[in-house]
Amino acid sequence: TRVLGIEGTAWAASAAVYDSATETVEIETEAYQPDSGGIHPREAAEHMGDNIPAVVERALGHARELAADDSDRDAADPPVDCVAFSRGPGLGPCLRIVATAARAVAQRLDVPLVGVNHMVAHLEIGRHRSGFSSPVCLNASGANAHVLAYRNGRYRVLGETMDTGVGNAIDKFTRHLDWSHPGGPKVEAAAKGGEYHELPYVVKGMDFSFSGVMSAAKDAVDGGPASSASGTSSDRGSDGGVPVEDVCHGLQESVFAMLTEVSERALSLTGSDELVLGGGVGQNARLQAMLGEMCEQRSADFFAPEPRFLRDNAGMIAVLGAKMYAAGDTLAIAESGIDADFRPDQVEVTWRGTEET
């Protein structure tokens, strides 16, 4: 199977081709970089409109090359068997542009359309690349934070954020510092030169909350109320705040420990001994190290896909699209509407064998 995938839920205008015979995934992405502040939905949608046609053409170019090497294929056949697109969750104005592009390409090539849940794609790419059969998955992305496991035909949300997504929380903190978007990699770099500064840690049941720790981090650099609770005067920067490197260090330790604790409890609850990581925040080496260590201590296997599959990308959409297509899980154009709040547990998992419960 060869699939064209199209992704555009927030910042990545991305198209990819996945060829299952050769396990090739070619990804073409144009990233939206806000001039100031965070992601503006209207500007992001304009970015999609400006860039999706070009990335799709580039991905189709790869598909034609792969098709030319495919001896089973008739010369008159389209270069891909179907077009898969991210239906949600994401920013509505962006999703509408991506869906329109996907419908147009599918009609032009006369192939079926497959509607993919973006969060399930973040999870399935890890399962696909690891070869694990039934892992627990931690999705640590910009707009979300979920711990998921498969049971009886669906991915169940075992734990999730009660407020903002984990990456968005980090980005809000760095906006406060006037650092450019995205903030995650800059916090990771700054944390390396810092000492631990204690910040709140909030896990309730299996859910996490990031807004309190973010406010406390902002207060700490400003020398505001929460920072006086911990640290000594010698910790303070020249303006009375805690040195930013120390806050970044403490922020990573708190937030990633929360994600690690809930992941560990999910492993224990499900009896699974496999964990996969997904989402853009998953590119963080400290998060990967904490999860890896926790898994090692309980003799579980841990897998983090390579960075191009962690951040938003159309490769994961194409790979899950191929599985859904093989299961006959395609969409009529008339039913191919987007869903900005599409939850992973709304998806009927058609592509996994009945032996896995």
Q: Which is nearer to ligand ATP, 141 or 227 (CB)?
A: 141
**Does the footprint of ligand ATP cover residue 279 (CB under 6 A)?**
yes
Biggest alpha carbon–alpha carbon distance for the chain: 74
Q: Which is nearer to ligand ATP, 73 or 286 (CB)?
A: 286
CB of residue 37 to ligand ATP, shortest distance in Å: 13
- Cα–Cα distance measured from residue 137 to residue 150, given in angstroms and rounded to the nearest whole number: 9
Are the C-beta atoms of 155 and 180 separated by less than 8 Å? no
Can you tell me which of 94, 123, 158, 281 binds ligand ATP, judged by CB under 6 A? Answer: 281
**Does the footprint of ligand ATP cover residue 19 (CB under 6 A)?**
no
Can you tell me which of 29, 260, 263, 283 binds ligand ATP, judged by CB under 6 A? Answer: 283
Q: Which is nearer to ligand ATP, 143 or 275 (CB)?
A: 143
- Cα–Cα distance measured from residue 253 to residue 169, given in angstroms and rounded to the nearest whole number: 14
Q: Which is nearer to ligand ATP, 79 or 279 (CB)?
A: 279
CB of residue 315 to ligand ATP, shortest distance in Å: 12
**Does the footprint of ligand ATP cover residue 141 (CB under 6 A)?**
yes
Q: Which stretch binds ligand ATP (CB under 6 A): 65-73, 163-171, 212-220, 233-241?
A: 163-171
Residues 78-117 within binding reach of ligand ATP (CB under 6 A): 90
**Does the footprint of ligand ATP cover residue 126 (CB under 6 A)?**
no
Are the C-beta atoms of 44 and 54 separated by less than 8 Å? no
Q: Which amino acid is at 348?
A: E
Are the C-beta atoms of 14 and 314 separated by less than 8 Å? yes
Q: Which is nearer to ligand ATP, 256 or 325 (CB)?
A: 256
**Does the footprint of ligand ATP cover residue 185 (CB under 6 A)?**
yes
Three-state secondary structure of the chain: CEEEEEECCCCEEEEEEEECCCCEEEEEEEECCCCCCCCCHHHHHHHHHHHHHHHHHHHHHHHHHHHHCCCCCCCCCCCCCEEEEEEECCCHHHHHHHHHHHHHHHHHHCCCEEEEEHHHHHHHHHHHHHCCCCCEEEEECCCCEEEEEEECCEEEEEEEECCCCHHHHHHHHHHHCCCCCCCHHHHHHHHHCCCCCCCCCCEECCEECCHHHHHHHHHHHHCCHHHHHCCCHHHCCCCCCCCHHHHHHHHHHHHHHHHHHHHHHHHHHHCCCEEEEECHHHHCHHHHHHHHHHHHHCCCEEECCCHHHHCCCHHHHHHHHHHHHHCCCCECHHHCCCCCCCCHHHCCCCCCCCCCC
**Does the footprint of ligand ATP cover residue 14 (CB under 6 A)?**
no
**Does the footprint of ligand ATP cover residue 165 (CB under 6 A)?**
yes
- Cα–Cα distance measured from residue 178 to residue 59, given in angstroms and rounded to the nearest whole number: 36
**Does the footprint of ligand ATP cover residue 10 (CB under 6 A)?**
yes
**Does the footprint of ligand ATP cover residue 143 (CB under 6 A)?**
yes
Q: Which is nearer to ligand ATP, 82 or 170 (CB)?
A: 170
Q: Which is nearer to ligand ATP, 263 or 330 (CB)?
A: 263
**End-to-end CA separation in angstroms for the chain:** 26
Q: Which stretch binds ligand ATP (CB under 6 A): 6-14, 201-209, 235-243, 260-268?
A: 6-14
Q: Which is nearer to ligand ATP, 63 or 169 (CB)?
A: 169
Q: Which stretch binds ligand ATP (CB under 6 A): 177-185, 211-219, 253-261, 289-297?
A: 177-185
**Does the footprint of ligand ATP cover residue 5 (CB under 6 A)?**
no
- By CB under 6 A, how many residues form the interface with ligand ATP? 26
Q: Which stretch binds ligand ATP (CB under 6 A): 106-114, 135-143, 195-203, 319-327?
A: 135-143
Residues 286-325 within binding reach of ligand ATP (CB under 6 A): 311-312
Q: In the complex, which residues of this chain contact ligand ATP (CB under 6 A)?
A: 9-11, 90, 118, 141-144, 165, 167-168, 170-171, 182-185, 188, 279-281, 283-284, 311-312
